[in-house]
Chain A
């Protein structure tokens, strides 16, 4: 392998994501989410605060240093695409949640695909609330096409 691969399990970055009602509204509007539970202070469904949209954790993009993590992974950003993303929810995320988002490398593999050699890096972010419980996890697979050197 030609890259300096970080050890699997290594903590890549850690930020604190405050779920804010205004940010929930921005996501709802940007994605066409019409459910009033995203904007109501208290919904008829027993939710104590506005309900975050399913992909709200994307907002960590405002907090993370993308340049630093690409360098830490030894990736060439021009050859990288995100292949897939999966969210698992232990509970709904609500306005007022303060979540510590810790991102780790959980797999780093070389593979020969139909379009040549690829490096697949799987990252997992745990979103842990103030009680210490995991509220959600996000797993993303980054694909770096090797191409010619």
Chain B
């Protein structure tokens, strides 16, 4: 799509995924090639101190990336970064939010987060090429 017109304060359409299933995590493993047993084997996950399998961080990063790119078009994204705060477990409902914090020299900065309940599982940002007003 043509570069979007973005203004400070504008918000990304909120998106919800879940409850996350083991199948969702395995599907992402197939796409990305991360076959660490933490992500499919409850015993392995418990041995590592979790209640059961957890998603790979790249799963929730991918969900957040998709929410951004469906909004502004992946071809307009200059950068995308995420910081992993805590794991996503089977049964979690992941809510994805974002808002434009600044626009300078044709580049909008969007603050992003993925939350489960009240807790951030992921924080991040994207920079996006914008159209002139």
Which residues of chain A have a CB within 8 Å of any CB of chain B?
23, 26-35, 37-38, 45, 47, 51-55, 58-63, 78, 81-89, 92
Contact = CB atoms under 8 A, between A and B. Distances in A.
Given A83-B84, A84-B83, A32 B69 contact: no
Interface string B59-77: 1011101111110011101
B74 A37 contact: yes
Contacts of A30: 24, 27-28, 30-32, 59, 62
B111 to A, nearest CB: 14
Contacts of A32: 15, 17, 63, 66-67
A35 B66 CA distance: 9
Chain B interface helix/strand/loop/mixed: helix
| Interface bin, chain B | 35 or more
Contacts of B59: 30-31
A87 B84 CA distance: 15
B66 A31 contact: yes
A52 B73 CA distance: 11
A55 B80 contact: yes
24 contacts: A26-B27, A30-B31, A31-B63, A33-B70, A34-B70, A37-B74, A37-B75, A38-B74, A45-B1, A47-B75, A53-B62, A54-B65, A54-B66, A54-B68, A54-B74, A55-B58, A55-B61, A58-B33, A58-B58, A58-B62, A81-B84, A83-B84, A85-B58, A85-B82
Q: 4 tightest A-B contacts by CB?
A: A61-B33, A62-B33, A31-B62, A86-B81
A68 to B, nearest CB: 15
Interface of B: 1-2, 15, 17, 24, 27-28, 30-34, 48, 57-59, 61-63, 65-70, 73-75, 77-84
B73 A59 contact: no
B69 A84 contact: no
Nearest to A93: B74
A59 B74 contact: no
Nearest to A86: B81
Contacts of A38: 74
B68 to A, nearest CB: 7
B75 A86 contact: no
A52 B79 CA distance: 14
B5 to A, nearest CB: 16
A53 B33 contact: no
A30 B68 CA distance: 15
- Most chain B CB neighbours (cut-off 10 Å) among A33, A54, A85: A54
Contact of B78 (A45, A85, A89): A89
